[in-house]
Chain A
Amino acid sequence: MDFRPLAEAERRQLLTALRGNADRGVALLLDRRDTSFTGTADELPDEQVLTAVKSVPSHY
């Protein structure tokens, strides 16, 4: 795979989102069609439960 790195602004946005998810339970929103990251939300509508990353258990 030819790895395409994140641009600086993209990396900062993703890092902030990941830490918000881990620290405060902020939901990570995914594009319905292709799973790409689209942003974050404090409140998650029911219909997005299966298309967002919120309280996914994991230890890393």
Chain B
Amino acid sequence: MGLLDTETGKRRLLSVEVPAIEAYNEGRDPDYRITVNRNGGILVLSYRLKPCHNVYRLETRLLSSYPVVPPETRVITPLKHCPHLLEGQSVCMWRQGSTRATSRWDPTQFTCVFAVLAAWRWLACYEVWHETGEWPLPEAK
């Protein structure tokens, strides 16, 4: 399903993703709202998160194969190298082959805003790791 070039994809975008983004942005300071831009067949969500004292800039990309393929999120703000940080400062959030249901992206249940909230939790873990050297949540199984 192409998010931008099929009827099913457009319906998903207009009935699920856009309303979720609008609800997320409601009442939020302008600096912390999600903005959406199109880059070819990809939608790019740009936003800031501030789990504690530090503000981070991020991008979440919805590929044309989204929502079957999970969204990809990377932190634009430079980070120290840490666990669960991949090339290009992409953050490792889902493992589709995992035996644990909560480790897998489920397109029937989750929207792009869930990726934003997962990134928030990842950054909260990063802030703890920065001080202790230990990632505070268990590894995937």
Contact = CB atoms under 8 A, between A and B. Distances in A.
Contact of A60 (B24, B31, B84, B132): B84
Interface string A17-51: 01101100000101011111100000000000011
Contacts of B94: 57-59
Given A1-B54, A6-B52, A11-B131, A59 B121 contact: no
Nearest to B97: A59
Contact of A57 (B27, B53, B118): B118
Contact of A58 (B31, B118, B128, B136): B118
B127 A60 contact: no
A33 B20 contact: no
B2 interface: no
Given A4-B52, A6-B127, A59-B93, 6 more contacts: A18-B121, A32-B28, A36-B50, A56-B114, A60-B122, A60-B137
Contacts of A60: 83-84, 92-93, 122, 125, 135, 137, 139-140
Interface residues of A, number: 31
A38 B101 CA distance: 28
Contacts of A50: 20, 23-24, 113
Interface residues of B, number: 54
Interface stretch (B10-18, B36-44, B60-68, B104-112): B104-112
B103 interface: yes
Interface in B30-88: 31-32, 48-56, 77-78, 83-84
Contacts of B117: 52-53, 56
B46 to A, nearest CB: 14
B17 to A, nearest CB: 12
